[in-house]
């Protein structure tokens, strides 16, 4: 049987417990949101195929538990990831401060050259914001990675974030193969412009 996709990318979400990793994965893969909170045990994954630059890209999205007690299990999955999404909660300063530790964990456990993406989730809760957007933008810039504020609940920037990451990985893989290196994917400039905006509800 013919393959139903051109590329398979493995993505991984990491970040403190409760920041909304599972909700982001469910929003992206199933286009829904459930308000009930069930903390992830160990690791789980969902799949969605998207089209990027005319290519069918199958995304295998691994959702990790943020709780410390699952560290040993979850870090074992870093190595196989081509893209890692670091998530914090804009209403929880500690979850943002911990991004440094998650970055360190990537350095220690992931493959060199893994694409990273920073997400500030729960941007629908503007009145409870503790982390100014500028702080996260600065951090992302220091690490040379993309940044979006997202809401799994209100469906803000979730599509954009996953597409941008898939696009970056695709660009990197085609460059490696020496095929028509493009400086910018079509989604690149528009997503970068829209990247940090978050609708307040
Ligand atoms: P662990 O599995 O323990 O690592 O947590 P997690 O990061 O997977 O968090 P989860 O997705 O389970 O969400 C935690 C809580 O935050 C739940 O009560 C969600 O309903 C809520 N939540 C997630 N995303 C959003 C969001 O975008 N906006 C708001 N307001 N709440 C959210
Ligand atoms: Mg979870």
Residues 146-158 have pLDDT tens digits of: 999 999 999 999 9
| Alpha-carbon span 57 to 143, nearest angstrom | 26
Q: What is the mean pLDDT of residues 169-178?
A: 84
17 CB under 6 A from ligand 1? yes
66-76 core/surface letters (b: 16 or more CB in 10 A; e: else): beeebeeebbe
Q: What is the reported pLDDT for 201?
A: 46
- Per residue in 23-69, pLDDT (tens digit) is 999 999 999 998 888 999 999 999 999 999 999 999 999 999 999 99
* 14-33: pLDDT as tens digits: 999 999 999 999 999 999 99
Helices (H), 31-115: 71-75, 93-97, 99-109
Q: Is 40 in the pocket of ligand 1 (CB under 6 A)?
A: yes
Handedness of CA 149, 62, 80, 162 (dihedral sign): negative
For residue 93, CA distances in Å to 17, 18, 59, 86, 101 come to 13, 13, 30, 15, 14
- Asked if residue 63 lies in contact with residue 22, where contact means CB atoms within 8 angstroms, the answer is yes
What gap in Å lies between CA 28 and CA 10, rounded to an integer? 14
152 lines ligand 1 (CB under 6 A): yes
What is the average pLDDT score of the chain?
A: 91
Of 3-7, 128-132, 190-194, the poorest mean pLDDT is in 190-194
Model confidence at 1, pLDDT cuts 50, 70, 90, reads low
Alpha helices in 86-154 (DSSP H): 93-97, 99-109, 133-143
Span from the CA of 95 to the centroid of ligand 2 (angstroms):
14
- Given a contact cutoff of 8 angstroms between Cβ atoms, the answer to whether 169 and 115 are in contact is yes
Helix (H, G, I), strand (E, B) or coil at 27: helix
Kindly list the protein residues that place their beta carbon closer than 5 angstroms to ligand 2, a single-atom ion: 21-22, 40
């Amino acid at each position: 049987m013919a393959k139903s996709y051109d590329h398979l990318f493995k993505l991984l979400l990491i970040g403190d417990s409760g920041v909304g990793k599972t909700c982001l994965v469910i929003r992206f893969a199933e286009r829904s949101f459930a308000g009930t909170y069930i903390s992830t045990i160990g690791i789980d994954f969902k799949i969605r195929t998207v089209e990027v630059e005319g290519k069918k890209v199958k995304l295998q999205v691994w959702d990790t538990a943020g709780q410390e007690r699952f560290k040993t299990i979850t870090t074992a999955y870093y190595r196989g990831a081509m893209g890692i999404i670091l998530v914090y909660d804009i209403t929880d300063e500690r979850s943002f401060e911990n991004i440094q530790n998650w970055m360190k964990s990537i350095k220690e456990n992931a493959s060199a050259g893994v694409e990273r993406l920073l997400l500030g989730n729960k941007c629908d809760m503007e009145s409870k914001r503790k982390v100014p957007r500028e702080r996260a933008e600065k951090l992302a810039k220091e690490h040379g990675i993309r940044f979006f504020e997202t809401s799994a609940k209100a469906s803000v920037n979730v599509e954009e974030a996953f597409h941008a990451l898939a696009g970056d990985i695709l660009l990197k893989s085609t460059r490696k193969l020496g095929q028509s290196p493009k400086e910018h994917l079509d989604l690149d400039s528009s997503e970068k412009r829209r990247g940090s905006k978050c609708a307040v509800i």
